Amino acid sequence: IWGIWSILPRNLKAFIVAMSISGFAGPFYWTFSAIYAIDVVGLSSVEWGLIGTAQLATAILFGFPGGKIVDKIGRVRSILLGYVAWIPILLWFICARNFFTLMFIFIVKALTDTLFMPAFMALRGDLIPRELRGRVMALFGMIMNIVAIPSSAIAGVLYQWNPTYPFFANIGLEVFTIAFLILFVKEPTGREV
């Protein structure tokens, strides 16, 4: 593992570190978002399911146009837009108190994901040298899993203290991710093929 890490390009290392911060932050949101929507907002399980359906349908409808935007404005900029949009979306989620508001929030989230996800996958492919792709992807996945291990447990403690705390923790960590991306991850001038 150390042998692979030591030969990676600096920009790829910075990208992995940024995504690791985000990978640690992720469970603070997704572990308790459904519980929050049902227990705090008061949605039924059917309403929560309908929100998931609307979110997936939006992602399907706008996925290809989102990918075209990523190709036009760049991968790093698209990822940053996704993260910057995520903060007010999550704040809005914390404040939401009815089905229709949450439905709208998750449709907006799906729209921002149509920029973030293709940009994330494209940049990862652009940065990983072809001859190392399998090993680096394995390393990437391993790091993402390791950093996420404590997050759900920490989120559980925070949720017990106050149901909004895990989401605020996510916001704080994602602000740190944004700053790290801006400072250390550059749009590649050449792409690995």
Euclidean distance between CA atoms 93 and 88, whole angstroms: 8
Q: Would you give the DSSP letter of residue 8?
A: S
* Nearest to 13, CA basis, from 176, 183, 146, 127: 127
* Nearest to 158, CA basis, from 167, 149, 150: 167
Q: Summarize pLDDT for 134-163 with one digit per residue, the tens.
A: 999 999 999 999 999 999 999 999 999 999
Euclidean distance between CA atoms 123 and 13, whole angstroms: 12
Identify the pLDDT of residue 192: 65
* Average pLDDT value for residue range 77-88: 96
Per-residue pLDDT band for 27 (boundaries 50, 70, 90) equals very high
Identify the pLDDT of residue 132: 87
Cα Rg, the chain, nearest whole Å: 17
Q: Would you give the DSSP letter of residue 40?
A: I
H or E segment and range at residue 1: none
Structure tokens at 25: 């932050």
Stated pTM of the model: 0.91
